[in-house]
Amino acid sequence: MKILYLLFAVFLLLFQATSGSADPLYADTVECRSQGKFCRVGACPPTFAATGTCHGGLMNCCSK
């Protein structure tokens, strides 16, 4: 029974995903994030304005 806990820990470490590794690097996304802005699907929050696009035009680039 103790071996199951060890195997679970090993599988958890083997299949752990790296943060952000699956995101393709779009030029507009890199530009948006390098300026301190963030990407969002749909409209930006009320105190933010859409200043461009992200992910190849699928998302809005929001800034204060």
Query: Could you tell me the CATH number of the domain that includes residue 40?
Result: 3.10.360
Q: With contact defined as beta carbons under 8 Å apart, do 62 and 51 qualify? A: yes
Whether the Cβ atoms of residue 39 and residue 61 lie closer than 8 Å to each other = yes
What letter represents residue 48's amino acid?
F
* In-domain check, residue 1: no
Residue 3 counted as domain residue: no
Whole-angstrom distance, CA of residue 36 vs CA of residue 52 = 13
Residue-wise pLDDT for 15-62, tens only, equals 776 555 555 678 899 899 999 999 999 999 999 999 999 988 999 999
Residue 1's pLDDT is 65
Within-domain flag for 13: no
CA separation for the pair 54, 47 (Å, rounded)? 19
* pTM confidence score: 0.59
